[in-house]
Amino acid sequence: MPVAFITGVTGQDGSYLSDLLLSKSYEVHGAVRRTSALRRSRIDHLYQDPEIYGKQFFLHYLDLNDPTTLRRILTKIQPDEIYHLAGQSHVGLSFEIPESTCDLTAMGTLRLLEIIRDLKKVPKLFHASSSEVFGKPDRAPQDESTPFRPVTPYGCAKAFATHMVSIYRNAFHMHAGNGIFFNHESPRRGENFVTRKICRAAAEISVGKRTELRMGDLKASRDWGDARDYVRGMWLMLQQDQPDDYVLATGKLHSVEDVVSIAFQTVKLDWREYVRRDERFDRPQEPCNLVGNSSKAQQRLNWQPQSDFHSLISEMTESEINLIKHQPDSSDI
């Protein structure tokens, strides 16, 4: 049974990756941050299953700024593969808390690399990088050779971590690679990301739970894919003989307004009657023209995005309607 260790296991990607690896008969260990708000809903189905939890799936308390604990856990479980997904991942928030964003996202990755380097059996490493490293790129679409020009604290922290992973791969011959992933969404997306915020609001308005949706820049655009396609890409990257960096993207740019329009269409409402502009949600700096070219992953990993944008947003909106039926409470984000 191959052993995998996942940092950020409670997040959108960590939970889908756990599902995938467990279906492939891995023993999966996840790192969980000890916080006062214990929110693990995305992995509850694994945690609550006595056939899985404690047998094939294990959780460990760990803070990425606690290298002693990290070293102890990795020495004990001796993973074959590490998927490093943890970090403060909200770009807007990184302007509010830049120091802790950099400590966790940039230095946290370096600390992990340092520990891995010393392990007796050096595991393969996947690092979840981000299209935010490109910031305001000088070309579109972006691929693995596009220079990094981050415009947000989060993008800058990710750029540092991404370079460090490449440096360790080359200097210490580690099987370590960066997945430079463009935005990827799903019903398990964090509630303060724009797709989830919109889908939830459309669902709530449709059942009469609220009357309006306040939004930042509707013209902002992203290359949005489906998280389930992207975790498959992570796994494929670590099954290659040679470690490398890969861009995963759909290659299609959509605006926030497109998301709004599909979500409201799903609940059969005209979005113009409910959406209000609110500058509080604008960012001090926005990346622009972030759209990816994933030809390398398509050719070498045989990776293809399988879901399309329209059905993804519809699925997310329908999932919110189901959630409202089961969890009536929610708040504006």
Say whether 275 sits in a helix, a strand or coil: strand
Q: How far is the CB of 195 from ligand GDP (least distance, A)?
A: 6
Q: How far is the CB of 46 from ligand GDP (least distance, A)?
A: 26
Give which of 151, 102, 105, 103 is closest to 131, Cα–Cα. Answer: 151
Non-local CB neighbours of 134 within 8 Å, separated by 6+ positions? 142, 146, 148, 149, 150, 155, 287, 290
Using CB under 6 A, pick the residue from 42, 184, 222, 228 that binds ligand GDP: 222
Q: How far is the CB of 215 from ligand GDP (least distance, A)?
A: 5
How is residue 296 written in tokens?
């390398």
User: x/- site string to ligand GDP, residues 240 to 269, per CB under 6 A?
Assistant: ----------------x-------------
Q: Which stretch binds ligand GDP (CB under 6 A): 66-74, 173-181, 279-287, 311-319?
A: 279-287
Q: Is the peptide bond before 150 cis (omega within 30 degrees of 0)?
A: no
The answer to whether 95 contacts ligand GDP (rule: CB under 6 A) is no
Query: Of residues 27-66, which lie at the interface with ligand GDP (CB under 6 A)?
Result: none
Q: Are 34 and 64 in contact (CB under 8 A)?
A: no
Does 154 qualify as catalytic in the annotation?
A: yes
> Which whole-number Å values give the CA distances from 206 to 188, 310, 312, in the listed order?
20, 19, 19
Q: Which is nearer to ligand GDP, 9 or 275 (CB)?
A: 275
Q: How far is the CB of 48 from ligand GDP (least distance, A)?
A: 29
The answer to whether 183 contacts ligand GDP (rule: CB under 6 A) is yes
* End-to-end CA gap in the chain: 42
Does 191 qualify as catalytic in the annotation?
A: no
The answer to whether 192 contacts ligand GDP (rule: CB under 6 A) is yes
Q: Which stretch binds ligand GDP (CB under 6 A): 46-54, 186-194, 226-234, 292-300?
A: 186-194
Q: Buried (b) or exposed (e) across 96-135, using 16+ Cβ within 10 A?
A: eebeebbbbbbbbbebbbebbeeeeeebbbbbbbbbbbbb
Which residues lie near ligand GDP (CB under 6 A)?
Answer: 91-92, 183, 192-194, 197, 215-217, 220, 222, 256, 281, 283, 286
Active site (catalytic) residues: 130, 132, 154
